[in-house]
């Protein structure tokens, strides 16, 4: 039986209490996207600024639980300054880790790999601190909290290139 310490790792609580890259960016040049978790009413706003194929700045706003807020904070530090192509691979790797299938717990009905690519090609991506969110998978209702900001990031990036 998964305990609270599997979910609320210290690094997660740290990002929750001291969120990084929090706030707004000027639109334009930044692009803004809003994501909702219809289950709990959480919403996250992601701003990204892309220049020459690199995410030069990222910022997050909105409100939510410790998991959604810390995941947004960790996401922002993980993608800032990186190439969009690398970030897309990182998103795939993260969502693979966040899928019940991806962590080998078993069970069908994984709807998280909505780009259909599963974890293919993502195995070599280093997740670093993001590994701390792995325990969320043991609490399936919280998975959407952890992936909300990542899906919203993809939305913002897609809009940048739209």
Partner 1 sequence: MSVGGGDRLGPQTKAHFPLLGRQVRGRPIVYLDSAASSQKPRSVLDAMNSYYETINANVHRGAYEIAAQATEAMEAARTAVARFVNAPSADEIVFTKNVTEAINLVARSWGGANLGPGDAVVVTEMEHHANIVPWHIMAAEKGFELRWIGVGPDGQLDLSDLDRLLDGAKLLGVTAMSNVLGTLNPVRRLADAAHDAGALVLVDAAQYVPHLPTDVQALGADFLGFTGHKMCGPTGIGVLWARAELLEAMPPFLGGGEMILDVRKDGFLPNHIPHKFEAGTPPIAEIVGLGAAVRYLDGLGMDRVREHEVGLTAYALRTLQDRYGPELAVHGPSEPACRGGVLSMSFRDIHPHDLSQVLDDRGVCVRAGHHCAKPLMRHLGVPATTRASLYVYNDTADVDALADALGAAGEFFAP
Nearer to partner 1, 56 or 66 (CB): 66
Nearer to partner 1, 1 or 123 (CB): 1
State in angstroms the smallest separation of the CB of 105 from partner 1: 18
| DSSP-derived secondary structure letter, 101 | T
Nearer to partner 1, 43 or 57 (CB): 43
**DSSP H stretches of helix in 2-142:** 4-7, 10-17, 66-79, 84-97
Burial (CB count <10 Å: 0-12, 13-18, 19+), residue 35: buried
**Residues 6+ away with beta carbon under 8 Å from 26:** none
Nearer to partner 1, 37 or 117 (CB): 37
- Here the tokens at position 120 are 């293919």
State in angstroms the smallest separation of the CB of 18 from partner 1: 11
Is the CB of residue 136 less than 8 Å from the CB of residue 98?
A: yes
Nearer to partner 1, 89 or 138 (CB): 138
List contacts with partner 1 (CB under 8 A). Answer: 1, 3-4, 7-8, 13, 17, 39-43, 63-67, 139, 142, 145
- Here the tokens at position 131 are 């590994």
- Residue burial 70-98, b: 16+ Cβ < 10 Å; e: rest: bbbbbbbebbbeeebeebbbbbbbbbbbb
State in angstroms the smallest separation of the CB of 143 from partner 1: 12
State in angstroms the smallest separation of the CB of 140 from partner 1: 12
State in angstroms the smallest separation of the CB of 30 from partner 1: 24
């Amino acid at each position: 039986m998964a305990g609270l310490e599997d979910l609320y790792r210290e690094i997660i609580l740290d990002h929750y209490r001291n969120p990084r890259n929090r706030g707004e960016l000027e639109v334009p040049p930044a692009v803004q996207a809003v994501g909702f978790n219809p289950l709990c009413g959480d919403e996250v706003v992601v701003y990204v600024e892309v220049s020459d194929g690199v995410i030069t700045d990222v910022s997050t706003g909105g409100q939510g639980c410790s998991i959604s807020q810390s995941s947004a904070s960790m996401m922002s530090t993980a993608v800032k300054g990186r190439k969009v192509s690398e970030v897309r691979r990182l998103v795939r790797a993260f969502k693979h880790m966040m899928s019940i299938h991806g962590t080998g717990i078993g069970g069908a009905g994984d709807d998280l790999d909505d780009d259909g690519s599963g974890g293919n090609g993502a195995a070599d991506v280093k997740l670093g601190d993001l590994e701390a969110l792995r325990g969320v998978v043991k609490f399936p209702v919280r998975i959407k909290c952890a992936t909300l900001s990542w899906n919203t990031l993809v939305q913002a990036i897609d809009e940048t290139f739209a």
